[in-house]
Structure 1
Amino acid sequence: MAEPAVIAHRGYAGVAPENTIAAVETAANHDAAMLEIDVQPAACGTPVVIHDERLEGTSARDGRPLTDSSGYVWETSLEDLRTARVLGTDEPVPTLAGLLEAIPETIGVNVELKNPGTTDLRVAESLPDAERDERRAVWTPFVERVIEDCEAFDGELLFSSFCEGALAAVREVAPRYAAATLVWDDLEAGLEIARRYDCEAIHPPRNAIAGTPLATTEYAGFSDATPEVDILEEAHAEGRTVNVWTAENWHQFEALAAAGVDGIVADYPGLGTDSSDSS
């Protein structure tokens, strides 16, 4: 069985200031196959790399403020974003263009379309016909800016989102690029969206993989009940890549690898190596 690709979550957020140039360097130095990053617009519309919608959003790891600034990302000037410091380090919030310049083209990039600049998001929903055009229109201007910044990067690119409107915009603006739907708490909705836009990949949470010890643990909107849908089997039967988020230790990585997933989003480098060394 082929080893799953290791995808550095925000640039190995467990050991580096997430979504920064320093995180890119960490991922490159530890042989990540792909780097996962999050993008939103600054007030001027320039795509910047940051996860939370607010600058003071807290890290999932220890509760520290994400940056030393505050306010919505999309209401903050590019100049102020460049002076914001991430997680108590000297690293600023980078532009997407600047971050891509720092990434070796041997490393793929998963660009997660996090927010187009609004609090009115439709997250992890399979939208009814009447609402799809409207939600695509909300995302299209930002997606156009993201694609423009990505065109200079010659490595592999994959665009993902929890929002159907974002995927609809990607398919309209740049159908040549691969796309992936991110799944939250509804496996059927995730598969439906992947089929609707013929997504090359689907990204479920780690406890959505049936037959693993993780499948009976609470995580990312799912209870500890056994998944009702075998999303790995169904996605593979349809020819889609399955990249799972997020492994935080080698036990989780080993369980997901044994299940046959194609990629594992990881917070720490070396999880795959550590798991094989443990046997």
Structure 2
Amino acid sequence: MDEPAVIAHRGFAGVAPENTVAAAKFAAECEATALEIDVQPAACGTPVVVHDARLDGRRDGRALTDAAGLVWETPLEDVRAADVLDSGETVPTLAALFAAVPETMAINVELKNPGTKDLRVGESLPEDERSRRRDLWEPFVERVVDDCDDFGGEILFSSFCEGALAALRDVSPEYATAALVWDSLEDGIAIARRYDCEAIHPPRNAIAGTATVDERYGGYPASEPSVDVLEVAHEEGRTVNVWTVETWVQFDELRRVGVDGIIADYPGLGKSADRGENRSHR
């Protein structure tokens, strides 16, 4: 059985300050297959690496940064000075993060937000809405692609928003794309087909034949999936990378059924799964 690629979620956010240069370097040191990051614009439009719409989002009761306000309304210098989770690491620009990461590491750039509260997350859009959403995303996508073009390594773009994928296909169709699934596998598959995405990224509880289907996670309910996204995607030649794994048991379940990549919060989960498998055969 082929081993799944290990994709460091925000730079292994379970043990490193998420989406920072330090986290990116840590993921590289841990020999992750790829690094997953989130991008959105500061007030001037410069792409910055941060997940939440607000700089004062929460993580286990702690403020995400020591700054406040919507990222896209905050001056770049204030975003760059924001201390992430009291770590001493600050929010980087996309260009700064690329400069710190070896080109041997692949990067999954999630297009998180173009600078608006009006997002259509996880939806397969009606035809008359697609061009409007594409136009909303396109200026920001152009800025992101400019930074990505200076990086010599492999890049995969992903998004929960169809408009982002539509804009990317118009701006720079040579880049690989992935449709992120929220609460509808059918919508995710439809979007992946519409833009000929190279990959699809479902949540961990949306993979048929695993124990993870018994939990509610992300936007997906606790139930056996209505469609086998792994089978459909592989039949159509698409890679399946699953988000976000936190334990070696989850990792082992997903590896067992043959997913291609696992977006993980912690390093070493695959090795832990190996140890568990070895113990079971004693």
1:63 CA displacement: 2.4
- Partner of residue 131, structure 2: 133
1:267 and 2:238 matched: no
1:14 and 2:14 matched: yes
Between the aligned residues of both structures, percent identity stands at: 67
1:218 CA displacement: 1.0
1:146 and 2:155 matched: no
CA distance in 1, matches of 2:34, 2:241: 11
CA distance in 2, matches of 1:103, 1:110: 13
SS of equivalent residue, structure 2 residue 252: helix
- Partner of residue 276, structure 1: 274
Structure 1 residues 199-242: Cα deviation after superposition (integer angstroms, max 9, x where no partner): 00000000000000001211112221111110000000000000
1:67 and 2:65 matched: yes
Q: TM-score, normalised by structure 1?
A: 0.98
- Work out which of the residue numbers 81, 91, 97 in structure 2 matches 1:83: 81
For the aligned residue pairs, the C-alpha RMSD in angstroms reads 0.6
1:83 CA displacement: 1.2
CA distance in 1, matches of 2:34, 2:125: 30
Listed as ranges, the matches of 1:33-182 within 5 Å are 33-59=33-59, 62-182=60-180
CA distance in 1, matches of 2:275, 2:150: 39
CA distance in 2, matches of 1:58, 1:145: 28
CA distance in 2, matches of 1:222, 1:52: 20
1:188 CA displacement: 0.2
* Structure 1, gaps ≥5 residues long: none
CA distance in 1, matches of 2:169, 2:58: 32
For 2:13, give the aligned amino acid. A
CA distance in 2, matches of 1:108, 1:58: 28
CA distance in 1, matches of 2:61, 2:128: 40
- Partner of residue 185, structure 1: 183
- Work out which of the residue numbers 219, 223, 235 in structure 2 matches 1:221: 219
- Partner of residue 209, structure 1: 207
For 2:58, give the aligned amino acid. T
Q: TM-score, normalised by structure 2?
A: 0.97
1:141 CA displacement: 0.1
- Partner of residue 243, structure 2: 245
1:82 CA displacement: 1.4
CA distance in 2, matches of 1:6, 1:30: 10
CA distance in 2, matches of 1:172, 1:94: 27
For 1:195, give the aligned amino acid. R
